[in-house]
Amino acid sequence: MSVNTAVPIQEQAHRVRLTINGRSQDVEVPPRRTLLHLLREDLHLTGTKEGCGIGTCGACTVLVDGKAVLSCLFLAVQAGGRSVETIETAGTGPDPLLDAFIEHDAFQCGFCTPGQIMALRGLFQRNPRASAEEIRRAVEGNVCRCGAHLRIQAAALDVAAGSR
């Protein structure tokens, strides 16, 4: 159902406390602000990408309490009291998954890559020895238009094998 109001809603900002990449933060967000836009536009954590904004491509995948979610469909207010992990946390130190992506050339333009990495990171946090089938399921919702799919799978299989 879509509601088309001729007069825009006056928005009351909500105060939300959440943990982002291990740091507790207080933010004020309008009710319709998505977690994606909170991260990108308010906090300038631009590693998380907007590929479609309507939950069909996976580019904006982040972890909320360890679970991969589409941040474009997740309201910032819903993240209150929760722990959010973005690519910026994965990108700070040595990371076997990032290294495997580079070794396998598992990206071309790189725009979908943070989403692919976060989807796999969520999987590996639950199951470091994930199977090929689990890997496939973890990333099959993530669109890559450059065609790195097989390389992404190979990189993830390498990481899973390294944990065995």
Partner 1 sequence: MPRIVKQKVEFEGRIEEREVVLEGEDLPVWPADARFSVVGTPVTRVDGRERVGGTARYTTDQYPAGMLHGVILRSPHAHARIARLETSKAERLPGVRAVLSHLNVPKIRWFNGASWLFDPELRYVGDEVAAVIADDAAAARDALDLIEVEYEVLPHVLDAEAAIRPGAVLVQPTGNILGGAPERYERGNVEQALARAEVTVALTVQTPDQLHHSMETHGSVADWSGDRLTLWDSTQHIFGVRRQVAVALGIPMDRIRVLSPFSGGGFGSKNAAGKYSVIAALAARQTQRPVRVIFSRIEESQAAGKRPRSLQKIRLGARRDGVLTAIDYWGLSNVGAYRAFPSPLSGPPKELYACPNVRTDTASVFTHTGPAAAFRAPGYVEATVALECAMEALADRLDLDPLEVRLRNYAEDDQVLARPYSSKFLREAYRLGARSIGWERRTATPAQVVRDGTRRGFGMASQIWGGSGSPPAYAEIRFNVDGTAEVRIGTQDIGTGAKTALTQIAAEVLTVPVDRVRLALGDTDFPYSPLSAGSQTIASCGPAVRMAAEEARRHLIDAAASVLEAAPEDIRLEAGHLTVVGVPDRRISVAELTGRMGNFTVTGRGFRGANPNDVTIRTWGAQFAEVEVDTETGAVTVLKVAAAHDVGRVINPLQYASQIHGGVIQGLGLALTEDHVTDPETGNVLDLGFDAYAVPRLPMIPEIDALAVGIPDPIANNLGVKGVGEPPIIPTPAAIANAVANALGIRITDLPITPMKVLRALGRIE
Give min distance, CB of 19 to partner 1, in A. Answer: 18
Binding-residue total with partner 1 (CB under 8 A)? 59
Interacting residue with partner 1 among 20, 51, 61, 85 (CB under 8 A): 51
The interface region with partner 1, picked from 17-25, 74-82, 106-114, 122-130 by CB under 8 A, is: 106-114
Interacting residue with partner 1 among 145, 161, 162, 163 (CB under 8 A): 145
Give min distance, CB of 8 to partner 1, in A. Answer: 4
The Cα 10–Cα 6 span in angstroms is 12
Q: Tokens 């946390």 belong to which residue?
A: 89
Interacting residue with partner 1 among 13, 15, 17, 105 (CB under 8 A): 105
Tally of CB atoms within 10 A around 22: 9
Q: Tokens 């990032």 belong to which residue?
A: 98
Contact flag: residue 162 with partner 1 (CB under 8 A): no
Contact flag: residue 12 with partner 1 (CB under 8 A): no
Give SS3 for 47: coil
Angle, CA of 99, 83 and 51, to the nearest 5° = 60
The Cα 83–Cα 17 span in angstroms is 10
Give SS3 for 48: coil
Interacting residue with partner 1 among 87, 119, 123, 160 (CB under 8 A): 87
Interacting residue with partner 1 among 77, 98, 120, 123 (CB under 8 A): 98
DSSP state of 75: B
The Cα 13–Cα 10 span in angstroms is 10
The interface region with partner 1, picked from 12-20, 77-85, 94-102, 122-130 by CB under 8 A, is: 94-102
